[in-house]
Amino acid sequence: MTTALRRLRNYIDGEFRDAADGRTTEVVNPATGEPYATAPLSGAADVDAAMAAAEAAFPAWRDLIPAERQKVLLKVADRFEERAEELIAAESENCGKPIALVRSEEIPPMVDQIRFFAGAARMLEGRSAGEYMEGFTSIIRREPVGVCAQVAPWNYPMMMAVWKFAPALAAGNTVVIKPSDTTPASTVLIADIIGSVLDELGHSRGVFNVICGDRETGRLMVEHKVPAMASITGSVRAGMQVAESASKDLKRVHLELGGKAPVVVFEDTDIAKAVGDISVAGYFNAGQDCTAATRVLVHESIHDEFVAALAKAASETKTGAVDDEDVLYGPLNNANQLKQVKGFIERLPAHAKIEAGGEQVGEKGYFFAPTVVSGLKQDDEIVQHEVFGPVITVQSFSDEKQAVQWANGVEYALASSVWTKDHARAMRMSRSLDFGCVWINTHIPLVAEMPHGGFKKSGYGKDLSSYGFDDYTRIKHVMTSLDG
C-alpha cells in the first residue's frame, strides 16, 4: 500500500495556496530516501501574488511604532516555544536531523534570536541631531528598505529563516521568503505561526509570505520589480547569480555564502580537548555548515599524535536514526549532496590518506561516515573547495607564517579558529586571519548579539547582532531651516 504524501502549500496574504498552475515537487526525507510530501513549484503568478501582498502590507507595517512590531515578534517567540514539538518534527523530517539535537541546539537559540530582534526594533540608532551649517539643523532617519525577497538554505532551513525574517520584520520591512526545494516543511509551519500572530494582533497577514519552489522561483523573486532587497544564504554560485540578477535594477543584496574554515592548532594546545571540540564542530549537522571545523592545520611537532586522536574520535562519532539520542548527526540533505561528498573522496590525490570513514553508511538514506583525511597539500581540491559533509582534512604546518598563509589561502573567508595557550600569538593570529569570525580555543559558538558574516567569496552583509539589523534599514538625511 502506498502512503499518501502530505500536501504543503504556499502562504500568501494570509492564505495557504497551491501553485497557480498546480505544479508540485516531491519532498524527500533524507533519513529514508523516500518522499513524504509534495510542495508547490511556484511560478511567476505565485511570485507576483506574494510580492503584491507584501507590497500592500508594507505601508501600515512600516508606520507602526517599534513597540508594536516588538509585540508581534515577542508573541512569535512565545508561539515557537508553545509549538516547539511541531517545529522539531517538521525539521527532523525536513533534514533527517536527530530529534534530540533539534530540541536542544536549534529551538532555544531561535527563540532567543527572535526576542533579540524584537528588542532591536526599539533600539534604532543614528547620529544626534545638530547644526552643521549655520541656520540649519540636520537629523538622521533610519527607515526600513521595503519588501525583502529572502531565500533560505537547506542545511538549517528553520534557523536560517529566523535569521532572515526576524531582523527584516523588526526593522519594519515585509517579507517574501522561499525555503529550499528540499526542505520546505518547517518554513510553511513558521508561516502558520506568524500568520496567526499577525491576525490575533490585528495586522495584515501579508506582512509575511512563503512561496515554495526551485532555483527558477528564486530567480523570479530576485528579478521581480517589487523587492527593494534580496537576501540569500547559499552557495557561492547562487550568490553570484543573485548579485548579477539584482544588479539589473540595483536592488540591495545581502549574501551569506560558503565557507572553508581553517582550524589552526599550535604545538602548545591541549590535544585531547582540541580534538574533542573540533570533531564535534566538524561533524555536527553532518558537516553541512558554512562555519564547520573541517580544514585543520596542525603544527608538525604534534601532527601524528593529533591525527591519531582525531581518527579515534571519528570512529567513536555516531550517525544514524532521528530518534537515536546517541547520534551526533543525521544524513546528508539530498542525493546530490551525497554524490558531491563521495566525489571528493573518490578524487583524492595519491598522497592523501583516509584515516577514518570515507564511505556511505546504512542501507537507506544519505548517511556518510565521519571521515578524516591526512597528507594533504594546500592546492588539493578537497582543501580549496567546500565539501559540506562530515569530512575533516588535516595539513601539517611548520611555523606561524606558514599557518597564516595557508589559512588565508582559499577563496572563502567566513570563519576560523586558533588553538593555543599563547595569548600574544592568539592576538596576532586573530589580526592576521582574513575571516569574518576568529574563535580562540573554541569553534562554532554563536550568540545573537554578535555578527555572523564573511569576506571574499563568503559574501557580504551580516546576520545576527545590531549589524544584521542595520542591514535591513536605510539612512535618510533630513535638514530643516531654523529661520522659519
- Whether 3 has a pLDDT exceeding 80, the answer reads no
Q: What values do phi and psi take at 294, rounded to 5?
A: -110, 0
Among residues 91, 256, 355, 386, the one annotated as catalytic is 256
Q: What is the pLDDT of residues 293-346, one digit of tens each?
A: 999 999 999 999 999 999 999 999 999 999 999 999 999 999 999 999 999 999
Note the pLDDT of residue 127: 76
Q: What values do phi and psi take at 288, rounded to 5?
A: -90, 70
Kindly list the distances between the CA atom of residue 484 and the CA atoms of 135, 136, 137, 480, in Å, as whole numbers in the listed order.
10, 10, 12, 9
Residue predicted with more confidence, 237 or 124: 237
Q: Is 125 a catalytic residue?
A: no
| C-alpha cell read off for 390 | 562530515
Domains and CATH numbers, the chain: 6-257+458-477 (3.40.605.10), 262-448 (3.40.309.10)
Rounded mean pLDDT, 358-367 = 95
Rounded mean pLDDT, 376-392 = 98
Q: What values do phi and psi take at 86, rounded to 5?
A: -65, -45
Kindly list the distances between the CA atom of residue 462 and the CA atoms of 257, 334, 451, 476, in Å, as whole numbers in the listed order.
11, 28, 6, 21
Q: Is 256 a catalytic residue?
A: yes
Note the pLDDT of residue 284: 98
| C-alpha cell read off for 370 | 565521519
Q: What is the mean pLDDT of the chain?
A: 96
The strand order across the sheet containing 208-210 reads 15-17, 10-12, 208-210, 174-178, 147-151, 229-233, 252-256, 459-460
Question: Band of the pLDDT at 126, cuts 50, 70, 90?
Answer: confident
- Whether 465 has a pLDDT exceeding 80, the answer reads yes
What is the Cα–Cα distance from 465 to 484, expressed in whole angstroms?
A: 41
Kindly list the distances between the CA atom of residue 381 and the CA atoms of 289, 311, 355, 435, 458, in Å, as whole numbers in the listed order.
19, 21, 18, 20, 18
Among residues 95, 290, 355, 437, the one annotated as catalytic is 290
Question: Band of the pLDDT at 2, cuts 50, 70, 90?
Answer: low
